[in-house]
Structure 1
Amino acid sequence: MEYWIRRIRTLLSYRLFTLLLLGIVAALTFLLLFSNVRVETYNIRLFSVSEETIRSPKTIIDEQRTEIEQQRAAAEVADIYVFRPEIVDNRTSLIGSIFDFATEFNIDLQQEDNRAASDQVTDDMLEDLKDALSADVSENVTTAIDDHVFEVLLATPDSELENIKNIVLNQIDLTMDSPIKADEITASRNQIENQLLSFSIEENLRQAVTALGQFAIVETNIFDEEQTEAIREQARGAVDPVQILEGQVIVQEGYLIDRDIYRQLEALGLTMNNETITPLLGVLLFSFIVVAVLYFHFSSWNIEEEKKQNYLTLVSMIFLLTLSLMKVTELVRELDLMEIGYIFPVAIASMLIRSMINTRLALVVTILLAASGSIVFNDSLTGSINVEIALYFLFSGLAGILFLSHATRRTHFLRAGLFVGAANVLILFSMLLMENVQYTIMDFLYYFLFASVAGLMASILTIGLLPLFEAGFGILSMMKLVELSNPNHPLLKRILTEAPGTYHHSVMVANLAESACEAIGANGLLARVGCYYHDIGKTKRPHYFIENQMNSQNPHDRLSPEASRDIIISHSLEGAEMLRKYKLPKEFVDIAEQHHGTTLLKFFYYKAKNDGEDVYEEDYRYPGPKPQTKETAVISVADSVEAAVRSMKDPTSEKIKELVHSIVQDRLKDGQFNECDITLKEIETIKRVFCETLNGIFHSRIEYPEFKKEQERKAQA
Structure 2
Amino acid sequence: MKFMKKLRVTLRKWRREYLDFSSNSYKVIWAVIFFLLIALTLNLDLIPNQVDLRAGQVSQNDITAPRTITFIDESRTSELRQRAADTAPRVYEEDSTVEEEVLNKVNALFDTIKSEREFFYFNKINLSESETDEQNDSRVEPDQKQGNTEKNVFGQNEIDNLNEDEINEIINLINSEIDLEISDQNLANLIKLTDSELSELRERATNLIQSKLQSRILPSDLTSAREDLRQSAMELDISREKRLILADLTESVIAANMFLNQEATANRREEAIAEVEAVEKTVRQGEMIVRKGDVVTEADIEILERLGLQKSGINYYNISGRILISLILVLLLGFYFYKYQPDIWDDNSKLLLIELLIFIVVVLAKILTLFHNPFVDYMVPTAMASILLTILIGSDTALITTLFISLLIAPIYDMNFNIVLTSFLAGLIGIFSVSKVKARGDIIRAGLNVSFILVFLIGGLSLLQQNQDWRNLIWSVGGGIINGLLVGILANGLLPYLEDLFNMTSSVKLLELSNPSQPILKRMLVEAPGTYHHSIIVGNLAETAAEDVGADSLLARAAAYYHDIGKLKRPYFFSDNQFGGENPHDKTSPNLSALIIKSHVKDGVELAGENGLPSKITDIIKQHHGTNLISYFYQQALQDNKHDDIEKKDFRYDGPKPQSREAAIIMLADITEAAIRSKNFNKNNHDRIEGFVRGLVKDKLIENQLDQSNLTLTDLDTIVKSFVKVLTGIYHQRVEYPEKLLKEMKGGNKSD
TM-score by length of 2: 0.69
Indicate which of 434, 440, 448 corresponds to 1:404.
434
Indicate which of 67, 91, 105 corresponds to 1:80.
91
- Cα distance in structure 2, aligned partners of 1:241 and 1:324: 35
| Conservation of the 8 A alpha-carbon contact between 1:519 and 1:686 | no
The residue that corresponds to 2:462 in the other structure is 432
The farther-off stretch of 500-509 and 163-172 is 163-172
Indicate which of 275, 293, 309 corresponds to 1:238.
275
Deviation at 1:109, TM superposition (A): 8.9
Q: Does 1:569 align with 2:569?
A: no
- Cα distance in structure 2, aligned partners of 1:671 and 1:37: 62
Deviation at 1:230, TM superposition (A): 2.1
Deviation at 1:530, TM superposition (A): 0.9
**SS in structure 2 opposite 1:255?**
coil
Deviation at 1:593, TM superposition (A): 0.8
- Cα distance in structure 2, aligned partners of 1:149 and 1:660: 141
- Cα distance in structure 1, aligned partners of 2:494 and 2:298: 56
Indicate which of 135, 159, 180 corresponds to 2:217.
180
Residue type at the aligned position of 1:399:
I
Cα distance change, pair 118–638 in 1 and its aligned pair in 2 (3 A): farther
- Cα distance in structure 1, aligned partners of 2:329 and 2:245: 93
- Cα distance in structure 2, aligned partners of 1:375 and 1:46: 28
- Cα distance in structure 2, aligned partners of 1:437 and 1:235: 30
- Cα distance in structure 2, aligned partners of 1:263 and 1:320: 33
- Cα distance in structure 2, aligned partners of 1:95 and 1:284: 76
The farther-off stretch of 68-77 and 110-119 is 110-119
**SS in structure 1 opposite 2:259?**
strand
Indicate which of 259, 266, 287 corresponds to 1:222.
259
Aligned residues between the structures: 666
The residue that corresponds to 2:314 in the other structure is 275
The residue that corresponds to 1:477 in the other structure is 506
Deviation at 1:693, TM superposition (A): 4.5
**SS in structure 2 opposite 1:491?**
helix
After superposition, the C-alpha distances for 1:652-694 in whole angstroms (9 at most, x for unaligned) are 6666666655555554555444545x353xx524531440441
- Cα distance in structure 2, aligned partners of 1:145 and 1:289: 74
The equivalences for 1:142-157 within 5 A come to: none
Cα distance change, pair 507–614 in 1 and its aligned pair in 2 (3 A): same
Deviation at 1:314, TM superposition (A): 5.0
Deviation at 1:531, TM superposition (A): 0.4
The equivalences for 1:300-311 within 5 A come to: 308-311=347-350
Deviation at 1:575, TM superposition (A): 2.3
The residue that corresponds to 1:527 in the other structure is 556
Residue type at the aligned position of 1:236:
I
Indicate which of 394, 404, 418 corresponds to 1:358.
394
- Cα distance in structure 2, aligned partners of 1:290 and 1:115: 102
Percent same amino acid at aligned positions?
30
The equivalences for 1:524-563 within 5 A come to: 524-540=553-569, 545=574, 562-563=591-592
- Cα distance in structure 1, aligned partners of 2:311 and 2:443: 51
- Cα distance in structure 2, aligned partners of 1:638 and 1:551: 24
The equivalences for 1:65-76 within 5 A come to: 67-76=78-87
Q: Does 1:254 align with 2:265?
A: no
**SS in structure 2 opposite 1:274?**
coil
Deviation at 1:45, TM superposition (A): 5.7
Cα distance change, pair 84–298 in 1 and its aligned pair in 2 (3 A): closer
The equivalences for 1:374-413 within 5 A come to: 378=413, 384-413=414-443
Residue type at the aligned position of 1:598:
T
Deviation at 1:524, TM superposition (A): 1.3
Indicate which of 539, 555, 580 corresponds to 2:609.
580
The residue that corresponds to 1:630 in the other structure is 661
The residue that corresponds to 2:59 in the other structure is 50
| Conservation of the 8 A alpha-carbon contact between 1:596 and 1:624 | yes
- Cα distance in structure 1, aligned partners of 2:181 and 2:369: 89
Residue type at the aligned position of 1:695:
K
The residue that corresponds to 1:125 in the other structure is none
Cα distance change, pair 347–191 in 1 and its aligned pair in 2 (3 A): same
Residue type at the aligned position of 2:617:
F
Residue type at the aligned position of 1:339:
F
After superposition, the C-alpha distances for 1:297-349 in whole angstroms (9 at most, x for unaligned) are 776765699x9455555555555555555566555x38xx6523445665444
Residue type at the aligned position of 1:403:
S
| Conservation of the 8 A alpha-carbon contact between 2:684 and 2:732 | no
The equivalences for 1:27-38 within 5 A come to: 29=38, 33-36=42-45
Cα distance change, pair 569–154 in 1 and its aligned pair in 2 (3 A): farther
After superposition, the C-alpha distances for 1:695-715 in whole angstroms (9 at most, x for unaligned) are 35327968999989x9xxxxx
The farther-off stretch of 267-276 and 574-583 is 267-276
Residue type at the aligned position of 2:513:
L
| Conservation of the 8 A alpha-carbon contact between 1:319 and 1:369 | yes
Cα distance change, pair 703–631 in 1 and its aligned pair in 2 (3 A): closer
**SS in structure 1 opposite 2:93?**
strand
| Conservation of the 8 A alpha-carbon contact between 1:330 and 1:341 | yes
The farther-off stretch of 568-577 and 284-293 is 284-293
**SS in structure 2 opposite 1:339?**
helix
The equivalences for 1:193-208 within 5 A come to: none
- Cα distance in structure 2, aligned partners of 1:661 and 1:515: 17
- Cα distance in structure 2, aligned partners of 1:316 and 1:590: 27
| Conservation of the 8 A alpha-carbon contact between 1:152 and 1:204 | no
Deviation at 1:188, TM superposition (A): 6.2
- Cα distance in structure 2, aligned partners of 1:175 and 1:654: 123
**SS in structure 2 opposite 1:222?**
strand
Q: Which runs of 5+ in 1 are unaligned?
A: 120-140, 379-383, 711-717
Deviation at 1:452, TM superposition (A): 3.5
Deviation at 1:22, TM superposition (A): 5.2
The residue that corresponds to 2:117 in the other structure is none
- Cα distance in structure 2, aligned partners of 1:53 and 1:408: 53
After superposition, the C-alpha distances for 1:269-321 in whole angstroms (9 at most, x for unaligned) are 9776633344444454555567657756776765699x945555555555555
After superposition, the C-alpha distances for 1:241-262 in whole angstroms (9 at most, x for unaligned) are 5677667876543234567877
| Conservation of the 8 A alpha-carbon contact between 2:19 and 2:349 | no
| Conservation of the 8 A alpha-carbon contact between 2:451 and 2:480 | yes
Deviation at 1:265, TM superposition (A): 7.4
- Cα distance in structure 2, aligned partners of 1:425 and 1:638: 50
Deviation at 1:389, TM superposition (A): 3.0
- Cα distance in structure 2, aligned partners of 1:515 and 1:457: 37
- Cα distance in structure 2, aligned partners of 1:698 and 1:663: 17
Deviation at 1:423, TM superposition (A): 1.8
The residue that corresponds to 1:684 in the other structure is 714
Q: Which runs of 5+ in 2 are unaligned?
A: 1-9, 115-142, 161-176, 742-752
Residue type at the aligned position of 2:434:
L
**SS in structure 1 opposite 2:59?**
coil
- Cα distance in structure 1, aligned partners of 2:312 and 2:725: 84
Cα distance change, pair 667–325 in 1 and its aligned pair in 2 (3 A): same
The farther-off stretch of 210-219 and 456-465 is 210-219
Residue type at the aligned position of 1:72:
R
| Conservation of the 8 A alpha-carbon contact between 1:269 and 1:276 | no
**SS in structure 1 opposite 2:599?**
helix
The residue that corresponds to 1:131 in the other structure is none
- Cα distance in structure 2, aligned partners of 1:262 and 1:555: 92
- Cα distance in structure 2, aligned partners of 1:243 and 1:696: 71
Deviation at 1:474, TM superposition (A): 5.5
| Conservation of the 8 A alpha-carbon contact between 1:485 and 1:529 | yes
- Cα distance in structure 2, aligned partners of 1:304 and 1:362: 12
The residue that corresponds to 2:485 in the other structure is 456
Indicate which of 429, 433, 448 corresponds to 1:418.
448
